Amino acid sequence: MKAFEFFEHTADIGVRAYGKTREELFINAARALYEVQGRFDLADRRILKAELAANSIDELLVRWLSELVYRLSTDGVCFKHFRLQFTGDQKLVAQMEGGAVDFAHSEVSEEVKAITYHQLSVKQTADGWMATVIFDV
Amino acid sequence: MHPLTKITDVLWELPQSYKAGMRVPGRIYATEQMLSRIVGDNCLEQVANVACLPGIQSYSLAMPDIHWGYGFPIGGVAATAPDEGGVISPGGVGYDINCGVRLMRTNLTQEEVAPKIHDLVSQLFRDIPCGLGEKSDLRLGRDDERKVLSQGAHWAVAHGFGAPEDVDFIEENGCMAEAESSNITERALERGAGQVGSLGSGNHFLEVQVTDEIYDETAANTMGLFLGGITVMIHCGSRGFGYQVCDDYLRVLGRAPEKYGFHLPDRQLASAPINSPEGQEYLAAMRCAANYAFANRQVLGSKAERAFLHALRISPDALGMQLVYDVPHNIAKFEEHVVNGRSRRVCVHRKGATRSFPPHHPLVPPRYCAIGQPVLVPGDMGRYSFVLVGRPQAMLQTFGTVCHGAGRLMSRSQAKRELSFDQLRRDMEQRGVVMMARGRGTAVEEASAAYKDVAEVVNVVDNAGLAVKVCRLRPIGVVKG
């Protein structure tokens, strides 16, 4: 199973992410988010925890990816390893391991500034789960 | 076949019958040649969706640089009436609240600057933080940040960035009233604390330009622009702060349609009645972000002036850098407009669209009273940008609004597939443009070939009588995030 693929959007970048489970789906969407932005070397090691809740699973995906956008935008932190656990249909506990990006030794491609609700969907398929989301760059 | 009815050679109507729920027709400013791309890009659906907003007046409008956006199309304009249940929609403002353009003129000529252009662009690239991971050298404490949110460009001037008279040449005089910083989340404050005075990434830029064509000598003279003269254009907005405000309020306003009993065809069009607590809270928060952007561009303009002085080793008098004008193109504001023969206060959403007020309008600065408000329309980094001035037809047809840029021709991924960074650099060199960019991917996506020709776009608004061309500005130096 493919982890994710990008699709055409005039002004921004569309992503289709896949996973056998909801957890894998969310992790693959996070990997797509970082891949769009470049290749990041880390200057230190940090472990952070986040508890997120939303009104639906697709809104939860936006909350999750927005959390990662916020951490990179504010503290310059990127995560490489994730442990996710759904504690309800629309609740998530995430443990993220990564560190502060060493921008001098990283290859920055572009910056994702927001996760949009446009054409947003999270669906169960015969193989597992699929999400469609558009990143504002 | 498309569903549009021709009104004039540059104006097309999308009938109200096109989609159930439309409260007004759509109107699109474009040539016939532009239409196939507009129809193919699915923009008509977005024009129709905007026409479904409660309280929308006259038309759901689209400018000739229209392309697919979130909720509103980019280039979309809608005026809603508060006394008819009219709504405010963050989708009609965009993530980058008060993204806009600033133009500064100088006394310098191309001949004087060309031999030193590499040094100048290098200095600008060093002094102006841009791209992901580049923080501003200003790190604001919460008290100062809240002052930025309430004072806008005035905060920057008070802290030594630019001259007091600059604010006379910024839309809203560089500060929107009724900004309420208690409506801002801690997350937005944190995201904004280190970004005042930074350019960001994506399509934002700083350009050193040459005035290479003049169409209206009187208006150009009034703005201090002359043939062969050097200008600086900055395209930037409210950075991560504005994005976070939009994100925070999309969540709040996403629940409002159900609460207030109306249906919208797209979740990204999340809206609340202007006269509701949610609507008022968003407006007060949006104004904070607008003021953040005004302060940001004021600081960036001042940093650019210092970089010129340092790189060229000349006096401020010799440089003669002055602000021509600063316009937002992602914003919602209350303005007086004539609707069905009656003057009304409406909330004009401009999502990728520029205010274009005519001569003698009370909100046009006295210096420009006789010529109209300057309208700044950036093109792509290889070709040119335009300066126009507003005309009375804009008040009659478009709530005093015109286009904001070229509009994309290729998607970002297509540009990256078809173009390389080295190819881009060679192309820019051949065009006589020195470019420095932080992110290679972003630079390639912003190549000339990825954009429509902005001349075609401004010719539409000029032909429609919404604004008139004053001059063309060609880049010779580009700083990109």
**Measured between CA atoms, how close is B478 to chain A, in angstroms?**
17
Residue A108 has a pLDDT of 86
Instruction: Look at the pTM and tell me if it is higher than 0.80.
Output: yes
Tell whether A25 is within 8 A of chain B (Cβ).
no
pLDDT at B412: 83
> Which residue from B190, B240, B250 is facing A117, i.e. has the nearest CB?
B250
Contact A8 B244 (CB under 8 A): no
Helix axes B117-127, B277-312, angle to 10 degrees: 140
Query: Are B243 and A113 a contacting pair at CB < 8 A?
Result: yes
Indicate the pairing of strand B342-351 with strand B74-80. Answer: antiparallel
The model's confidence at residue A128, banded by pLDDT at 50, 70 and 90, is very high
pLDDT tens string A67-76? 999 999 999 9
Percent of chain B with pLDDT over 70: 100
Nearest to B451 by CA among B415, B418, B403, B475: B415
pLDDT at B410 exceeding the cut of 90: no
Contact B132 A66 (CB under 8 A): no
What pLDDT does residue B279 have?
98
Task: Tell if the CB–CB gap between B414 and A70 is shorter than 8 Å.
Answer: no
pLDDT, position B120: 98
Answer yes or no: do A103 and B69 touch at CB < 8 A: no
Q: Is B204 in the A-facing interface, judged by CB distances under 8 Å?
A: no
pLDDT of amino acid B438: 86
B40-44, B238-242, B372-376 — which is least confidently predicted?
Answer: B40-44
Q: In this complex, which of B134, B240, B439 lies closest to A110 when CB atoms are compared? A: B439
Mutate which: A5, A75, A111, vs B, most B CBs within 10 A: A111
Report the pLDDT averaged over residues B373-380.
Answer: 98
Q: What's residue A119's pLDDT?
A: 87
A121 touches chain B (CB under 8 A): no
Q: How far is CA B7 from CA A15, B149, B400, B464, in A?
A: 39, 43, 19, 11
pLDDT of residue A41: 94
CB of B131 within 8 Å of a chain A CB? The answer is: yes
- Helix, strand, coil shares, percent, chain A, to 5: 30, 45, 30
With 80 as the cut, is the pLDDT of residue B90 above it? yes
Over residues A72-118, the pLDDT tens digits come to 999 999 999 999 999 988 999 999 999 999 998 998 888 899 999 98
Interval B121-125 mean pLDDT: 98
Q: Is B70's CB within 8 Å of A134's CB?
A: yes
| B235, B101 contact by CB (below 8 A) | yes
Residue B414 in this model has a pLDDT that exceeds 90: no
Structure tokens at A27: 């992790």
Residues of A in contact with B408 (CB under 8 A): 10-11
- Nearest CB among A38, A73, A111 relative to B202 is that of A111
d(CA A110, CA B275): 39
Q: What is the pLDDT of residue B133?
A: 78
Amino acid at B323: L
Mean pLDDT confidence for B105-120: 97
Q: Is B404 a catalytic residue?
A: yes
Domains of chain A: 4-136 (3.55.10.10)
For tokens 């959403």, the residue is B349
- Residues A30-43 have a mean pLDDT of 95
- Is residue B321 a contact partner of residue B369, using CB atoms and an 8 Å limit? no
Q: Does the pLDDT at position B42 exceed 90?
A: no
Residue B462 has a pLDDT of 98
Residue A11 pLDDT > 80? no
Check B201 against A110: CB less than 8 A apart.
yes
* Residue B268 pLDDT class (50, 70, 90 cuts): confident
Predicted local confidence at residue B195, as pLDDT: 95
pLDDT reported for residue A81:
97
The angle, 0 to 180 degrees and rounded to 10, between the axes of the packed helices B142-151 and B277-312 is 100
A70 touches chain B (CB under 8 A): yes
- How much is the pLDDT for A127? 92
A137 and chain B in contact, CB less than 8 A = yes
Architecture of the B5-480 domain: Alpha-Beta Complex (3.90)
A38 in contact with B, Cβ within 8 Å:
yes
pLDDT at B132: 83
Partner A, chain B 357-386, Cβ-Cβ below 8 Å: none
The answer to whether residue B156 scores a pLDDT higher than 90 is: yes
Which of chain B's residues have a Cβ under 8 Å away from the Cβ of A118? Answer: 70-71, 266-268
Query: What φ, ψ does residue A92 adopt, rounded to 5°?
Result: -140, 135
- When pLDDT is averaged across residues B63-70 and rounded to a whole number, the result is 91
- Tens digit of pLDDT for each residue in B353-372? 999 999 999 999 999 999 99
Strands (E), B68-202: 74-80, 87-88, 100-109
Instruction: Give A-chain residues touching B413 at CB under 8 angstroms.
Output: 6-8, 13
Q: Which of residues 13-72 of B touch A (CB under 8 A)?
A: 41, 67-71
Mean local confidence (pLDDT), B42-49: 94
Q: How many residues does chain B have?
A: 481
ipTM over the 0.90 cut-off: yes
Residue A57 has pLDDT above 90, yes or no: yes
Mean of pLDDT values over B162-171 = 98
When scoring A10, A69, A70 by the number of chain B Cβ atoms within 10 A, the one with the most, hence best to mutate, is A10
The answer to whether residues B105 and B229 touch, using CB atoms and an 8 Å cutoff, is yes
| pLDDT tens digits, B319-343 | 999 999 999 999 999 999 999 999 9
Average pLDDT across chain B, whole number: 96
Calculate the dihedral angle through the C-alpha atoms of B117, B123, B129, B133, rounding to the nearest 10 degrees: 90
